[in-house]
Structure 1
Amino acid sequence: MKRVLTIFGTRPEAIKLAPVILELGRHPDCFENLVCVTGQHREMLDQVLNWFQIQPHYDLNLMRPNQGLSEFAAQALVAVDQVLDKVQPDVVIVEGDTTTVIMAALAAFYRRIRVAHVEAGLRTRDRYNPFPEEINRRMTGALATYHFAPTPRAVADLRAEQVPETDIFLTGNTVVDALLMTMRRPVKLEYDFSADTRFPILVTAHRRENFGAPFESLCLALLDIVERNPEVELLYPVHLNPNVREPVTRILSGHERIRLTEPLGYEQLVHLMAKAYLILTDSGGIQEEAPVLGKPTLVLRETSERMEAVEAGTACLVGTDRNRIVTTTERLLYDETVYHKMSHAGSPFGNGDAAERIVDILHQKLS
């Protein structure tokens, strides 16, 4: 039996690793399935753990108010190393590109423990966009032993970085597994669109690289969309970061067709995505989830490491330019041909069996 330690700290990591953890749990004769969380996103992380009924064996609870990236990174490296010393796993599984990911991978590397990187190979080639994620995932790629790439593009990017072919595996994206698992379960919505709304639009925006003037620009664009189009209703779960809350509250609060809510549980957001006419987001995960649901997505970023959705035609990069956001949104509202093309473009991120593939590969490699 091989000892597997899965380490994560944020809500997106938890969502994408939950299917892997659950799949590992279906093979108790092959794997000792251990989970460690850093608590990088405390409340939002716990909600996902509860939804997927995952109980961590080690909870480091490292996040503190007003904690900087360097401070968290230093604490995470030391704390994860202490867990590794105690557990002595055969492999550490990480996912994506957060500070938890790079520190966990580095701690494992220092102890010569194999690292399995889920969602490997995503690149923008712009070191500051997204920040700090682009450098986090490049460094994790340099440390990883097994690279579980979600798409052929990610495979190609890993090959371009001279990653050995024998260490690269095309698996699909585990976010599709999590989404399909969640859609099969009934959910009572805490917030919903009005029943008579013709164009319900779901918004999520929180990226660090958009803080300041770009974020104000996108908020003004959202206000324009509602004021110019009386059949539009926006629902916007607002991130807890004050750099998001202040401009959103100042610019968008008080409008009868703009609903600002607290951050939603993962299952709530998934079912709202399914009800939306279209989605405006700067979230990486939603760029992957929306195509599965057939929802056109406008990406509020200047670059994306998930260009597969753009190339497939189900997503469109609009950045944070006020006029471009408004114009592109209105085109989707009133041009049925354009909307139909985007909503039927299909998903390039797999069919929901990524976790099973990953666990099968681990079984082969660790045997």
Structure 2
Amino acid sequence: MVPGQSLNDLTSGLFKALGKELMDFDPDIVLVQGDTNSAFAGALAGFYHGCKIVHVEAGLRTYDNRSPFPEEMNRKLIGQIADWHFAPTHRARTNLLEEGIFRDKIITTGNTIIDALNYGLEKITTEQCEEVEKVQKILAEPKQPFLLATIHRRENQGEPIIKICSALREIAKRSGLQIIVPVHPNKTFAAIIEAELSGIPGIKLIDPVPYPGFLWLMQNCSLILTDSGGIQEEASGIGKHVILLRENTERAEAVTGGFVYKAGSNVDLIVKLSLELLEKKSDPVQKAVFGKGDASKKILEFFKDLQMD
């Protein structure tokens, strides 16, 4: 990606570059994960090349084409291109069946994000980790309670992000706790976040941190506020409450499981839910909502048994 790049420029660039790689490598199968523009471009380029397409993390839906944007449409389009669909949950499997995908083309595996989460947690728990040490040095008092907030979704640009920042200022003021905000490298978001939150008592803006350091932040914080999709899943695997800074979610299991509370950009609701959860002073019980951490093994077994026509 380059600064100021449009989605059209990004996707066309990916499509062209991936097409060249496919010509050079000439695979039988293209596997794509998730709902990014690179996943969509990879699926379509692979289809045009004559490859079979495998979609990991298939079937997630909000049924709102503009939220998340453009991910909801990306994954729907990939779903129409894919030959096999690895669904993370039974709900995702049902979504695909209702869209007319044949039952024998869907395999429920759990999500590979839980595999990565478990691996990462074991690593930072059992090994000395430089990335974790760097994060701990950033905190004024590493053993004191803190909140973690991330904001990056396109649909939160403009007025929503300003409202969210207002809510964060109020939470910092009323809770007395520090809020750690890794600032997304998107310059539009960074400029607004720095204008709204820089220098505010109780709020610390930091650069994006590597995954081990971010895992430590999630594991040790008192509450997460985010508009991320993947963090909703990681929170269930760690056992953390999430205030979702979005109007809807493709991971409804996290809501019904008691991990995620939808607040959107409603300032009063964000503050109310945050203070209520902080008052409880207890984390939800960890659950295998999105798998047990063996999705990669299930996918590997599928390929071992696969017989191509």
Per the normalisation by structure 1, the TM-score is 0.79
Deviations 1:315-349 (A, max 9, x none): 1111111000000000011135xx45xx1162310
Residue 185 of structure 1 deviates from its aligned partner by 1.3
Say if 2:115 and 2:295, in contact at 8 Å, map to a contact too: yes
Q: Amino acid of the residue matched to residue 353 of structure 1? A: D
In the alignment, what sits opposite 2:88? Answer: 150
CA distance in 2, matches of 1:290, 1:281: 11
5 Å matches for 1:2-21? none
2:246 aligned with 1:301: yes
TM-aligned CA deviation for residue 258 of structure 1: 1.2
Q: In structure 2, what is the equivalent of residue 209 of structure 1? A: 155
Q: CA deviation at 1:194?
A: 3.9
Identify the residue that residue 77 of structure 1 maps to in structure 2.
Answer: 15
Output one character per residue of 1:285-325: Cα deviation in whole Å (capped at 9) or x when no partner. Answer: 10010111111111110011111100111111111110000
1:127 corresponds to 2:68: no
Q: What SS class does the counterpart of residue 157 from structure 1 fall into?
A: helix
CA contact (8 A) 1:212 1:243 kept: no
Q: 5 Å matches for 1:145-224?
A: 145-186=83-124, 187-188=129-130, 189=132, 190-192=134-136, 193-195=139-141, 198-224=144-170
User: In the aligned structure 2, how far is the partner of 1:229 from the partner of 1:278?
Assistant: 12
CA deviation after TM superposition for structure 1 residue 197, in Å:
6.1
CA distance in 1, matches of 2:213, 2:267: 28
2:206 corresponding residue in structure 1: 261
Partners of 2:211 and 2:80 lie apart in 1 by: 31
Structure 2 Cα separation of the partners of residues 364 and 178 of structure 1: 24
Give CA deviations for 1:106-134 in whole Å, capped at 9, x if unaligned: 11111220011000000010010010111
Q: By how many angstroms is 1:245 displaced?
A: 1.1
Other structure's SS at 1:268 match: helix
Deviation at 1:195, TM superposition (A): 3.3
**Cα RMSD (Å):** 1.4
* C-alpha distance 181-345 of structure 1, shift in aligned 2 (>3 A): closer
Q: Which amino acid aligns with 2:95?
A: D
SS at match of 1:273: helix
Q: Which whole-Å deviations, capped at 9, do the CAs of 1:124-145 have from their partners, x for residues lacking one?
A: 1001001011100000000001
8 Å contact from structure 1 (residues 309, 347) kept in 2: no
Unaligned runs of 5+ in 2: none
TM superposition shift of 1:198: 4.9
Structure 1 CA distance, aligned partners of 2:242 and 2:107? 28
The equivalent residue for 2:272 is 327
How far is 1:252 from its partner? 1.1
Corresponding residue number in structure 1 for 2:257: 312
Identical-residue share of aligned pairs (%): 38
Q: Are 1:201 and 1:276, in contact at CA under 8 Å, matched by a contact in 2?
A: yes
Q: Which moved more, 1:310-319 or 1:75-84?
A: 75-84
Q: Is the contact made by 1:200 and 1:234 (CA closer than 8 Å) also made in structure 2?
A: yes
* Alpha-carbon separation, structure 1, partners of 2:279 and 2:62: 32
2:188 maps to: 243
Aligned equivalent of 1:352, options 293, 300, 308? 293
Q: Which residues of structure 1 form unaligned runs of 5+?
A: 1-62
Displacement of 1:222: 0.2
Distance in structure 2 (CA, Å) of the matches to 1:306 and 1:351: 16
Moved over 4 A (4+): none
Q: Name the CA distance, whole Å, in 2 between partners of 1:260 and 1:124.
A: 31
* 1:267 positional shift: 1.3
Instruction: Please report how far the alpha carbon of residue 77 of structure 1 lies from its aligned counterpart in structure 2 after TM superposition.
Output: 1.4
Q: Distance in 2 between matches of 1:86 and 1:366?
A: 24
1:7 — aligned with what? none
Q: What is the number of residues matched between the two proteins?
A: 300
Q: Is the 2:238–2:286 Cα contact (8 Å) retained in structure 1? A: no
Deviation at 1:92, TM superposition (A): 0.6
State the TM-score, normalizing by the size of structure 2: 0.93
2:215 to 243, 250, 270: 270
CA contact (8 A) 1:314 1:345 kept: no
Q: C-alpha displacement at 1:366, in angstroms?
A: 4.0
